[in-house]
Structure formats: C-alpha cells, structure tokens
C-alpha cells in the first residue's frame, strides 16, 4: 500500500431508498477525502443524509430498502462497495468502527460490558491472550474509574455518559484506523457532552486515529475537527477547513446554520430558524 494514499476517499456516492411509498434520494453524489489522522465533521440538519453517509461507509444500511446507486468508497485503497462479506466484516470494527447516538440502546442489555468488549476484541484481535486485562485497559483509556469492577456491570447499571464511554471503549478495542461517531453526545446532558468530546479529542491524538464526527451542532466542532463538510438535502454544499468554514461560510445554508447558534450576551426576541426559500437548490 502506498503511503500517500488517503485513508478514505468517497467518490460520487449516491444512496437511494426505495419504499412502497416512493423513492428517496438520501445521498446525491457526494465526494470527499479524509487523510490519515484527520478529523472531519459532517454537519447538517435532520434528514440531510449525514447519518446515511456514515452508515453507508461500511454498508450498514439494510438493502433493500437502501440501494447504492453509484460511486466508490475507497478505504485504504479498496472499494468497500465491492468487498466480499468476510472482507467487509474485517473492515467493520477493525478498519472503521462506530459510536452511535443512543448509548443506552446500543449496548446489548443481556450481556455485561466485559463480555461485549471481549467479543469485539476476539473478533478483530484474536492474538490477544489476556482479554480481561485488555478490557480493563480500554475502559481505563476512556476514563472509566475502577474499570476492573465496572466491567462486570450490565448496561442498565451505568449512567448514559458511562454507557457512551463503554461504547467508545468497545470501538477503540478493535484498534480501528477510523472512528465514526454519529451524534455521540446528542443523548447526553451538556456537561457530559463536553467530557465525552474532550475524551474523543484526546484519544484521537493518543492512538493516531482518524475521526468522522456526525453532528448538527456547529458549536462542538471547532475544537475537535480539522475539516467540515456541510450537508444539505443529500449533497455536500460546502467543504473546507473547520476554521475557514466557521469564520467565512460561503454557502447560504452554512451561514443559516451558523446563525442558528444562540450567542452569549446577544439580545434576541426569537431564535433563528432557517428560511429555506433563500437557499438555492442545485
């Protein structure tokens, strides 16, 4: 594998949902490049296609109703859309791991945290002998206090923040090159949000891992991400460095999104909403 190859390159990806009620084009020809070690934020409102894009990266969408119409997803140079099922299972978790929005339902209620993380380790790193020590190591890495004790807990015994940390530990324990976090803090309260995001930032540095952060919240990306892709109606309407996009947004939709963030000390009668009539449709 040549070293100057980007970690992930998406070319003209189109994803369509075909249901009895009609056809929806959820992702309409998006392209982007993610270099090794980079962090990309995909920002957009509900229904803009950001989650579909994230799940589509490892074909986690149920087909049918989803349909990959065209495009390429090159992960480390290989097209994910052309992988055989066993190859795909290696990429899932081992290459690209996920952290989902709702930690309380993303953990299987009938197994302890220990056995769920152990399962992930056995799948992708069969060479590990002392699995318990490895589980403790990762729980410790995500900031869970007293991990040897906590790993015996069942999901319902943990708080939301702890559950999300356990999910992150599970994802990291596979040692993926890319972590996809799909609104990882939406279900958590604000103080815990900040802790989890700080944790992600630190872990990314420590393990030299790339990150794709899916969010609708512009406020959280400045500290965490290098690049931003703004999605609107299934298309990337703006792409650039996080600094640049935040300081000088080009597309009206991006500007509208940024305007929606309430600012401290500002006097407003009503919060901003997006006036769609002012946004051009391509």
Partner 1 sequence: MKNEFLSPGQRMMQRFRRDRIGMISSVFVAMLFIVAVTFGALSLLDVPFPADPNLTNLAEKLQPPSASHWLGTDNLGRDVLARLLHGAYISLSVGFVAVFVSLAIGVAVGAVSGYFGGWVDNVLMRVVDAIMCFPTFFLILTAVALLGPSLLNIIVVIGLVSWTGTARLVRAEFLTLRESEYVRAARGLGQNSWAIIFRHILPNAAAPIFVTAVLGIPDAILTEAGLSFLGFGVQPPQATWGNIISDGKSYILDAWWLILFPGLAIFVSALAFYLAGDALRRAASSKSETQ
Contact residues toward partner 1 (CB under 8 A) are 58, 60, 64, 85, 88-94, 97-98, 100, 102, 105-112, 119-120, 123-124, 152-154, 156-157, 167, 170-171, 174
Which residues 6+ apart lie within 8 Å of 271 measured at CB? 260, 262
Token pair recorded at residue 155: 């999901």
In angstroms, give the least distance from the CB of 238 to partner 1.
28
Give Cα separations from 82 to 11, 70, 85, 87, 123 (angstroms): 14, 12, 9, 10, 22
d(CA 40, CA 213) in angstroms, rounded, equals 6
CB of 105: closest distance to partner 1 in angstroms?
4
The C-alpha atoms of residue 37 and residue 31 are separated, in whole angstroms, by 19
- Least distance in angstroms from the C-beta of 94 to partner 1: 6
Question: Closer to partner 1 at the Cβ: 156 or 269?
Answer: 156
Report yes or no: 39 and 211 within 8 Å, Cβ to Cβ: yes
The closest of 83, 95, 69, 74 to 32, measured between CA atoms, is: 74
Distance CA 160, CA 158 (A): 7
- In the bound complex, what is the minimum distance in angstroms from residue 37's beta carbon to partner 1? 22
In the block, tokens 């070293």 appear at 3
Judged by beta carbon, residue 209 or residue 257, the one nearer partner 1 is: 209
Find out whether 8 and 30 touch, Cβ atoms under 8 Å. Answer: no
Comparison of 98 and 239: residue with beta carbon closer to partner 1: 98
Q: How far is the CB of 61 from partner 1 (least distance, A)?
A: 10
Of the pair 61, 228, the CB lying nearest partner 1 is at 61
CA distance 223 to 197: 9
User: CB of 158: closest distance to partner 1 in angstroms?
Assistant: 12
CB-wise, 43 or 91, nearer to partner 1? 91
What CA–CA distance (Å, rounded) separates 234 from 25? 7
> By three-state DSSP, how is residue 101 classified?
coil
Looking at the Cβ atoms of 63 and 248, the one nearer to partner 1 is: 63
Nearest-approach distance from CB 123 to partner 1, in angstroms: 6
What's the rounded Cα separation, in Å, for the pair 26 and 50? Answer: 9
């Amino acid at each position: 594998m040549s070293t100057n190859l980007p970690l992930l390159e998406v070319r003209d990806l189109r994803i369509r949902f075909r249901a009895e009620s009609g056809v929806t084009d959820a992702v309409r020809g998006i392209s982007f490049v993610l270099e090794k070690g980079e962090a990309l934020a995909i920002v957009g409102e509900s229904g803009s296609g950001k989650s579909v894009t994230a799940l589509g990266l490892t074909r986690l969408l149920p087909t049918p109703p989803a349909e990959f119409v065209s495009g390429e997803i090159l992960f480390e140079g290989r097209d994910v859309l052309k992988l055989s099922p066993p190859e795909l299972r290696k990429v899932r978790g081992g290459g690209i791991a996920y952290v989902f929005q709702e930690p309380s339902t993303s953990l299987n209620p009938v197994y302890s945290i220990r056995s769920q993380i152990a399962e992930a380790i056995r799948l992708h790193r069969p060479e590990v002998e002392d699995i318990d020590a490895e589980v403790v190591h990762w729980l410790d890495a995500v900031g869970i206090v007293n991990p040897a004790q906590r790993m015996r807990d069942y999901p319902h015994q943990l708080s939301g923040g702890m559950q999300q940390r356990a999910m992150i530990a599970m994802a990291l324990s596979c040692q993926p090159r890319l972590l996809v976090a799909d609104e990882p803090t939406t279900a958590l309260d604000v103080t815990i949000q900040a802790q989890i995001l700080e944790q992600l930032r630190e872990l990314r540095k420590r393990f030299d891992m790339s990150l794709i952060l899916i969010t609708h919240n512009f406020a959280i990306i400045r500290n965490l991400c290098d690049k931003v892709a703004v999605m609107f109606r299934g298309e990337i309407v703006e792409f650039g460095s996080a600094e640049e996009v935040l300081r000088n947004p080009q597309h009206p939709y991006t500007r509208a999104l940024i305007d929606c963030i309430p600012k401290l000390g500002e006097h407003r009668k009503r919060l901003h909403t997006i006036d769609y009539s002012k946004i051009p449709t391509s």
